[in-house]
């Protein structure tokens, strides 16, 4: 069977049917069209089957994986691009009714459940940040093998889009764009987790912003302020910060485990230093206190993070950074749901025989991201005007219930634990 015949058979019955022509097009804007009647034009390429380095675009994965993903209603599409921010415009729709959720790079939630009737068409736009480890004068020290293998999509010069649900795609356009960027830095409770059933609030954050800003999540599992500084993660961010950008930072869970007698003060000093550097470059610093762990006694959340939430608050006050009290707001959220309901916020399998007391699942990450977005509103940060209209004022005492959380899971699952924190089994 030829490649084109294989691609047509692979996606038979869906709106994504692939061909292999590639006319010339502008280097800074790439449009891919799909469908059995799609035709190449001067400005559009008919999407090919499997990604390869020669073409620089296509469906990610090998044939057996693709058949499995297609059967499950999910697939990946990748396009080679330089580091930067990109406006991605997707036209959804097909012969049958569809409902498509889009994630980008390493499961960053972009669009949620875009519904299109049979024969219909809906166009949506979102912003994706693409990065590489290199910056002028240095390079981020990626964790091997975690970041260079399992989390490679977070660092390659490529946009990867993950389509979940019952996806139907007519066209994808990718073009570079200059927009304010929200740089996020933190630990495993913040970073882009590579697979289900784990998730962190940083990878849910893009869903809550209009296509007028980018979210660049530089957090990583197992990191503290000390190790993140040593791995050049902040140096990478500060090399990119420009006026109008934001730096949002949350640490504490791993700093707390330091045996250094001065660990708390060093944590505070690093946060202040980072905030001052961001301010000097015309950016806005936002310090977020670490959320509670899932520890209850008598219906009340136990304090497990010592003085670190207070140190974060003091660092914000002394540096003039915006402060978001995720520590207190997460307490309200957890106590509202109670010990049993709070378990649903954290990573767990179906029967709760495997669960986690620190790391969240998609539902919990989604609710925590709302708290951080609301924190920007409460602080009257200018970027708060770019929060999507379908996120009303968020009160953690009135959370979404797990039964009402409908974001479909990613195709990627993992049994690898996030680094740095002991888990409850």
Shared domain check, 253 and 110: no
DSSP 37: T
- Rounded CA-CA distance 94/170 in Å is 7
Torsion sign across C-alpha atoms 383, 210, 367, 393: positive
Query: Is the same domain home to 184 and 117?
Result: no
25 has pLDDT over 90: no
CA separation, residue 29 to residues 43, 44, 175, 239, 251 (Å): 8, 9, 4, 26, 38
Provide mean pLDDT across the span 397-408.
Answer: 96
So what's the pLDDT on residue 1?
A: 34
29 and 98 together in one domain: yes
The DSSP string of 71-98 is: HHT-EEEEEE--SEEEEEEEEE--SS-E
From CA 267, how far away is CA 262, in angstroms rounded? Answer: 9
Is 78 within a domain?
yes
| pLDDT band (50, 70, 90) for residue 15 | very low
For 129-165, the pLDDT digits (tens) are: 999 999 999 999 999 999 999 999 999 999 999 999 9
- What does pTM read for this prediction? 0.91
Give per-residue pLDDT as tens, 271-319: 999 999 999 999 999 999 999 999 999 999 999 999 999 999 999 999 9
Domain range enclosing 326? 179-404
Q: Regarding predicted confidence, which is higher, 6 or 121?
A: 121
- In this structure, the answer to whether residues 225 and 285 fall within a common structural domain is yes
> How many structural domains is the chain composed of?
2
Nearest to 74 by CA among 408, 420, 416: 408
Whether residue 161 lies inside any domain: the answer is no
| 193 shares its domain with 89 | no
pLDDT digits (tens, 9 = 90+) for 97-116: 999 999 999 999 999 999 99
Q: Give all strands (DSSP E) within 136-293, no chain letters.
A: 138-139, 158-166, 169-176, 181-186, 214-217, 246-250, 284-288
Give residues with Cβ within 8 angstroms of 228, minimum separation 6: 185, 220, 234, 251
State both tokens at 97. Answer: 């009714």
Rounded (10°) CA dihedral 78, 47, 113, 150: -20
Query: How many Å apart are CA 108 and CA 35, to the nearest integer?
Result: 26
Helix (H), strand (E) counts: the chain: 9, 21
User: For the chain, how long is the longest CA-to-CA vector?
Assistant: 68
In a domain, 86, yes or no: yes
Percent of the chain with pLDDT over 70: 88
**DSSP category for residue 16:** -
The DSSP letter of residue 50 is: B
CB neighbours of residue 401 within 10 Å = 11
Q: Is 157 within the bounds of a domain?
A: no
Instruction: For residue 61, count other CB atoms closer than 10 A to its CB.
Output: 17
Of 51-60, 91-100, 384-393, 413-422, the one with minimum mean pLDDT is 413-422
Is residue 8 domain-shared with residue 111, that is, in the same domain?
Answer: yes
Residue 326 within a domain: yes
Let me know if residue 159 belongs to a domain.
no
Would residue 134 count as lying in a domain? Answer: no
Structural domain includes residue 79? yes
């Amino acid at each position: 069977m030829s490649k084109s015949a294989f691609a047509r058979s692979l996606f038979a019955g869906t709106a994504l049917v692939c061909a292999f022509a590639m006319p010339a097009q502008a280097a800074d804007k790439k449009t891919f069209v799909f469908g059995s009647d799609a035709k190449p034009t001067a400005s559009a390429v008919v999407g090919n089957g499997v990604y390869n380095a020669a073409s620089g675009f296509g469906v990610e994965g090998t044939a057996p994986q693709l058949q499995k993903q297609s059967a499950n209603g999910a697939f990946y599409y990748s396009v080679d691009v330089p580091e930067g921010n990109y406006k991605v415009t997707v036209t959804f729709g097909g012969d049958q009714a569809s409902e498509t959720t889009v994630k980008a790079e390493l499961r960053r939630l972009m669009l949620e459940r875009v519904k299109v009737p049979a024969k219909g068409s809906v166009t949506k736009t979102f912003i994706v940040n693409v990065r590489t480890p290199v910056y002028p004068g240095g390079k981020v020290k990626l964790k091997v093998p975690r970041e260079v293998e399992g989390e490679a999509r977070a660092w390659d010069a490529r946009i990867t889009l993950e389509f979940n649900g019952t996806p139907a795609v007519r066209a994808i356009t990718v073009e570079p764009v200059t927009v304010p960027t929200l740089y996020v830095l933190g630990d495993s409770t913040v970073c882009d987790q590579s697979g289900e059933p784990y998730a962190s609030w940083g990878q849910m954050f893009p869903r809550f912003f209009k296509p007028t800003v980018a979210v660049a999540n530089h957090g990583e599992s197992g990191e503290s302020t000390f190790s993140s500084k040593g791995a050049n993660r902040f140096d990478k961010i500060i090399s990119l910060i420009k006026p109008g950008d934001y730096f949002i930072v949350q640490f504490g869970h791993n700093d707390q485990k330091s045996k250094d007698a001065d660990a708390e003060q060093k944590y505070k000093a690093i946060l202040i230093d980072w905030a001052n550097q961001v301010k000097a470059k015309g950016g806005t610093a936002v310090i977020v206190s670490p959320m509670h762990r899932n520890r209850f006694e008598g219906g009340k959340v136990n304090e497990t993070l010592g003085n670190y939430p207070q140190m974060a608050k003091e660092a914000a006050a002394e540096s003039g950074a915006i402060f978001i009290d995720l520590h207190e707001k997460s307490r309200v959220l957890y106590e509202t749901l109670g010990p049993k309901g709070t378990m649903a916020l954290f990573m767990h399998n179906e029967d709760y025989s495997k669960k986690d007391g620190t790391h969240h699942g998609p539902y919990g990450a989604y609710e925590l991201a709302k708290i951080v977005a609301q924190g920007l509103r409460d602080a009257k940060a200018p970027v708060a005007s770019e929060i999507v209209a379908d996120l009303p004022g968020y009160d953690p005492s009135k959370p979404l219930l797990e039964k009402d959380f409908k974001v479909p899971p990613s195709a990627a699952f993992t049994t690898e634990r996030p680094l740095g924190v002991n888990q409850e089994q």
